[in-house]
Amino acid sequence: MAGRQPCDSLWLGADIVTLRDGRYHLQPAGAIAVRAGRILWCGAEADAGDFAAAQVTRFTGGIITPGLVDCHTHLVFGGDRSDEFAQRLEGVTYADIAARGGGILGTVRATRAASQAALQQQAAARIACLLAEGVTLLEIKSGYGLDVASELRMLQTIRALGDALPLTIKATCLAAHAVPPEFAGDPDGWIDCIVHQLLPRVAQAGLADAVDAFCEHLAFTPAQVARVFDAAQSLGLPVKLHAEQLSALGGSSLAARYHALSADHLEYITEDDVRAMAASGTVAVLLPGAYYLLRETRCPPVALFRQYGVPMALASDSNPGTSPVLSLRLMLNMACTLFGLTPEEALAGVTLWGARALGEAHQRGSIEAGKYADFVHWPVAHPAQLVYWLGGQIPCQTIVNGERRQ
């Protein structure tokens, strides 16, 4: 028919939850036209006759959401820390374990000892759990190497996973995660090494998309973090920060001063910090898995984030210590039950705001013309059903860059 726009594929037969602006914006009986991996058009099925598609997929009901985004993980690591889980249940704290050389440093030993092939294969098995839940954009941090060669090897492993697996993976350099054994008692020596040796090599090889640090009394001070951030920015790398997880050090205000993409955890954040994040447009990444597994009692101040208009993302924080979590949907439920988010806020947290926490919101995270065609079909009647079920699997079909994943 004359005047019909050609496209590669047309997807019909479901309600579309676009998550534009972080709201559901439900399009009943919707349709999506895809061309060259991007969304050409999204609207009512009744108007889809304007498109001539090479391939048409008709679902029988259900909903389509944007692909899910897990914007904070530590999925590449060696070993496991189930022994520490048992100790913590007996009252030993995370800080006690770290002070004894366990915790992050235990995983550093196991990660250094593992081959790159083993690290990649074990991480791929964990990522398979996220793929089965509709994750299309994933961030993975380094931070268990803690010497130049081992950090580079972790980042190379993350890049290799991105090349091998059917989703987009962003790599974050988290060398300022803990003081390595070689620099015991000399945290500034490790910061020097990060600033002068590691980050220039990371940037030159294009191995990271962002730089993170752990700002905490058992890790690095705001002044040390600022040195890492200065170096990152001079190399053109955006920053993000683990801040206010166990105590209030003002890390989130520091992050805001550097226009960080996100500040993450935030149980101990103050109102001044929240104001600073709002002014800089920094996303608050909430991590209910770590909160739950550390049996933290203080919640991040969701009411303040709402009041000041700070977007809230949610992530698994998947790591062998504080958050051995392999389900992002579980985080949706926990963010609502534990932190008081609405199901709509929770879904926005694993789509549009997760994408923004990775600097990707201009091209991923919602169903809008011009963005990459990353979306998921779910056999449910309403998006809140993705949030309210605890456990189990909802069999979904995932489309990444316009192609069906499985």
Q: Which is nearer to Fe ion, 9 or 323 (CB)?
A: 323
Of 222, 321, 349, 402, the one binding ligand NIG by CB under 6 A: 321
Cβ 139 vs Cβ 358: under 8 Å: yes
The H or E element containing residue 89 is: helix 82-89
CA nearest neighbour of 16 among 40, 43, 36, 39: 43
Stretch that binds Fe ion, among 13-21, 155-163, 309-317, 354-362 (CB under 5 A): 309-317
Q: Does 305 bind ligand NIG (CB under 6 A)?
A: no
Q: Residue number with the shortest CB distance to ligand NIG?
A: 321
Of 120, 157, 316, 319, the one binding ligand NIG by CB under 6 A: 319
Stretch that binds ligand NIG, among 113-121, 151-159, 318-326, 351-359 (CB under 6 A): 318-326
Give strand ranges (E) for 76-222: 135-141, 168-176, 210-215
Stretch that binds ligand NIG, among 37-45, 321-329, 348-356, 394-402 (CB under 6 A): 321-329
Q: Does 103 bind ligand NIG (CB under 6 A)?
A: yes
The 370-389 contact track toward Fe ion, x by CB under 5 A, reads: --------------------
Burial-class residue 69 by CB neighbours within 10 Å (0-12, 13-18, 19+).
buried
**What is the distance between the alpha carbons of residues 77 and 90, in angstroms, rounded to a whole number?**
25
Q: How far is the CB of 281 from ligand NIG (least distance, A)?
A: 22
Residue 245 binds which entry of Fe ion, ligand NIG, none, CB below 5-8 Å type-dependent: ligand NIG
Of 227, 242, 356, 405, the one binding ligand NIG by CB under 6 A: 242
Listed in sequence order, the residues at least 6 apart from 197 whose beta carbon sits closer than 8 Å to its beta carbon are 148
Q: Which is nearer to ligand NIG, 75 or 396 (CB)?
A: 75
Q: Within 284-303, which residues bind ligand NIG (CB under 6 A)?
A: 290
Specify the 3-state DSSP secondary structure of 347: helix
Q: How far is the CB of 323 from ligand NIG (least distance, A)?
A: 6
Q: Within 18-77, which residues bind ligand NIG (CB under 6 A)?
A: 74
Q: Residues 192-197: contacts with CB within 8 Å, 24+ apart?
A: 193/148, 194/228, 194/231, 195/227, 195/228, 195/230, 195/231, 197/148
Q: Which is nearer to ligand NIG, 31 or 175 (CB)?
A: 175
Residue 323 binds which entry of ligand NIG, Fe ion, none, CB below 5-8 Å type-dependent: ligand NIG
Q: Does 317 bind Fe ion (CB under 5 A)?
A: yes
Q: Does 317 bind ligand NIG (CB under 6 A)?
A: yes
CA nearest neighbour of 210 among 245, 174, 264: 174
Q: Does 70 bind Fe ion (CB under 5 A)?
A: no
Stretch that binds ligand NIG, among 52-60, 100-108, 224-232, 357-365 (CB under 6 A): 100-108
290-325 b/e (C-beta count within 10 Å ≥ 16 → b) = bbbbbebeeebbbebbeebebbbbbbbbbbbbbbbb
Q: To 10 degrees, the CA torsion angle through 153, 156, 160, 161?
A: 80
Distance of CA 191 to the CA centre of its chain: 25
Strands 26-35 and 5-17: antiparallel
Q: Does 111 bind ligand NIG (CB under 6 A)?
A: no
For residue 323 the two structure tokens come to 């958050």
Note the residues at the interface with ligand NIG (CB under 6 A): 74, 103-104, 107, 214, 242, 245, 290, 317, 319-323
Note the residues at the interface with Fe ion (CB under 5 A): 317
